[in-house]
Amino acid sequence: MIARMTHSRSQELFAEALRYLPGGVNSPVRAFRAVGGTPFFAQRAYGSHIEDIDGNSYVDYVCTWGPSILGHAHPEVIAAVKSAADRGTSFGIPNPLEVDLGRKICEWVPSVEKVRMTNSGTEATMSAIRLARGFTKRDKIIKFDGCYHGHVDSLLVKAGSGALTLGQPDSAGIPAALAALTLALPFNNIEALRHAFAQNRGEIAAVIVEPIPANAGLILPLPGYLEAMRELCTANGTLLIFDEVMTGFRLGRGGAQELLGVRPDLSCFGKVIGGGLPVGALGGRAEIMDYLAPLGPVYQAGTLSGNPLAMAAGLAQLKVLEEQNVFEKLEQLGAQLEVETRAALKTAGLDYVFYRVGSMFCLFFTSQTVRNLDDAKTSDLKRFTRVFHGLLERGIYIAPSQFETGFISAAHTQKDLAQTSEALTEALRA
């Protein structure tokens, strides 16, 4: 028998939030619109847990959508932020920490020779698209159905994550003339990409892709697909942009591109490199990056880009990742979660697909192999919703949408995994 949670304070606060914030939130996917109910309001987070204002505590598999790879409030991250804050929160003039983090990113990601810091993943992808257009002097771009690259006008076309969750993959407010410059193709279909290049010869500035899409649930690239994408971009003088805002510094030092052995021309990062503070970055070949102002003609700027607090948090997090061999621990925790999840699903006798790469995972309730967005949409969303709430009331918090990816942190414990397995077994009975 589970102790009934109360959520009265979150419900009251959500009612008030609705008066001041559209949908009561500052980012749509937090609103629980896909799963129903009222989002809880966090009051603190520590290690693998997040606690709401009613005093309920949850094992957290959202991990603030990726940044808290070490777990929440890691002592070294907190200490670094406090120390930096004592020296001022923003300077608006170069500071040593942004050079340190820039150097670290270039050292960890072989394809990155130079990097520009931004304040979000959205700014990073927006800047990368503009840079690719400026460098190639072409206007068209290619993206993939269900991939989400932040709320950039040119990229909110058949987008994933919250846009897909809310059923608005093509946002209002995007001029048709601009959207027409974005070609959206099915992921894992190399013939579709080959055809798009043939139909738009010499016109494609960039192909932007999540190398392992994680915003339509988690989808794995078919063998050879990204290699063929790389070859087509090279043959057509098109820049290949890997959006590694989620996978970067999470799947290993060099992210998905190192894991998969495919080298993009530009990469976008975020989340982990900010340790939970606002951050993004774009990086790549120096000959391309030097097109950015003040060196080159492509303007890109930001009051708080490279600010000392986010740099300090990111550097502290990467330092722990490196010194404590965290990636190996994440793989072990991920493998154990997978075994226990598959066992619970087998017991329940349900059709499912479970994908995992390192500490990123996703459960689809479908019998179909999920190779792209259309396949992902065959998942039983009603069952997902029942499982989401069944887990939540048992103290397990997963993303409030089928079209997201779960994360494990280095702070997750054997006790957490045992609680998760028990809760899943019961939630699957609902």
Q: Are 227 and 369 in contact (CB under 8 A)?
A: no
SS3 content of the chain, % helix, strand, coil (to 5): 40, 15, 45
Q: Are 40 and 396 in contact (CB under 8 A)?
A: no
Site for ligand KE4 contains 49 (CB under 6 A): no
In sequence order, which residues have a C-beta less than 8 Å from that of residue 304 and are 6 or more positions away?
90, 119, 278, 310
Give the angle subtended at the CA of 244 by the CAs of 182 and 414, to the nearest 5°. Answer: 135
**Selected binder of ligand KE4 within 52, 265, 393, 404 (CB under 6 A):** 404
Strands across the sheet containing 42-46: 42-46, 49-52, 57-60, 396-397
| Alpha carbon of residue 129 to chain centroid | 18
Which of the stretches 5-13, 98-106, 148-156, 307-315 binds ligand KE4 when contact is defined by CB under 6 A? Answer: 148-156
In sequence order, which residues have a C-beta less than 8 Å from that of residue 412 and are 6 or more positions away?
48, 59, 71, 333
In sequence order, which residues have a C-beta less than 8 Å from that of residue 119 and are 6 or more positions away?
278, 279, 280, 302, 304, 305, 307, 310
Is 271 known to be catalytic? yes
Task: Please state the closest distance from residue 149 (CB atom) to ligand KE4, in A.
Answer: 5
**Selected binder of ligand KE4 within 15, 18, 27, 107 (CB under 6 A):** 27
Is 148 known to be catalytic? yes
Site for ligand KE4 contains 421 (CB under 6 A): no
Which of the stretches 101-109, 147-155, 334-342, 380-388 binds ligand KE4 when contact is defined by CB under 6 A? Answer: 147-155
**Selected binder of ligand KE4 within 40, 144, 148, 225 (CB under 6 A):** 148
Residue 98-117 contact track with ligand KE4, rule CB under 6 A, x = bound: --------------------
Site for ligand KE4 contains 255 (CB under 6 A): no
Is 243 known to be catalytic? yes
66 or 334: CB nearest ligand KE4? 66
List the one residue out of 247, 311, 253, 316 whose CA is nearest residue 279. Answer: 311
Site for ligand KE4 contains 245 (CB under 6 A): yes
Q: DSSP assignment of 24-57, as one string?
A: GSSSGGGG-TTT-S-PPPEEEEEBTEEEETTS-E
User: Which residue among 243, 265, 375, 416 is the active-site one?
Assistant: 243
**Selected binder of ligand KE4 within 24, 47, 121, 334 (CB under 6 A):** 121
- Nearest residue to the partner ligand KE4, using Cβ: 121
122 or 366: CB nearest ligand KE4? 122
145 or 404: CB nearest ligand KE4? 404
Give the binding site for ligand KE4 (CB under 6 A): 27, 29, 65, 120-122, 125, 148-150, 161-162, 210, 215, 243, 245-246, 270, 280, 404
Which residues participate in catalysis according to the annotation?
Answer: 148, 243, 271
